Chain A
């Protein structure tokens, strides 16, 4: 019997960590700095391509008027609702088809067929059917995120090691325990991958939907600015989309770290 005690958590080397954390920001800072320089030296015409400072000032003005917050809030609301609805349906279908052969045989082929339709091509249909109100945009986002969540949930569940399930059965776990303690945790890494992908789809869908059929939201803000040749606001909208995209990716990443801590166990020890 080895009488070794578990290795204590490794103390991170502080200096190196800080450098690695700063490194990803070097390029964005350089680009924005260069952009500002090009604008102030007149290399970029401020009419066609405003400087970062001008974009920032535009953002401040819109924020003071309350327009910015209102549009971000409505876009966030649509994105979240669409993700919740589409994600839940995709997850439920994925679980159902992952555990039930009958359900899989009945529905999987049809779902896979629907999946091949680009969901943005449904925009005219959705607008004609339910108008350009909130339900239309939320439906489009839902449809967009449903499939990646479905596919990954199904695939994750189907690839859980059957030997572990057999062990669970022979060790007297109930069906519910087998699902919650073996199948779901086993499928979780793949499901979270699907979620991360779905977040990307969510923003893309929303931009398009808000650009084409809306009177509010960041996408609308950009289209509206286009009509007034308001370059500052257009670029501001693009920057906001980039920030929101980065934010949702960060949330997904942290969710992964939180839920999949056991995967880091091995690395942490070394």
Chain B
């Protein structure tokens, strides 16, 4: 599903002219299969988010190839990659990243709107998903009228609404208490089973990392497989 080969990236840090070169990703190569949950743990600043951002296409790695769903994405231009993301990825963020001006329902609807799906079709799909994440009775609440856990459910529903095969999650439970965290983890596991979805989860929480089928540890830009 995702094939990463020899991906390297270096950041230039500090003032222009006096910048320091910091290698963040060092010649990474690994693959993720369809329906697999992969977790990546590591110290803060070890490069976890940077890796996920290159997979997501938010940034291009300096070197290496990333093949997602059979397509080389590392060299795609912005417009093509935007379309590719719309089709292939769902995103779950640490701070949910919901639109404050839109209700829960409208937030979930947004990717379908961007995709150009007509309103009637959208409504059916959105209803179904809100039911699936257990939010049908708060669908007309605005994000600031929802709890953290509810907000994360909305964002998961939004990630799923376009039926992408892959979900990318950067610290999905980072802003939640441990009880809510459990709810979300259970939801992720059940979605993985029910829809055969592929998950890439970045976390510094070992408990979260342990729901994965495979677990990697990022260390100084290098990836080490850990036994579960």
The answer to whether A binds B is no
**Which residues of chain A have a CB within 8 Å of any CB of chain B?**
none
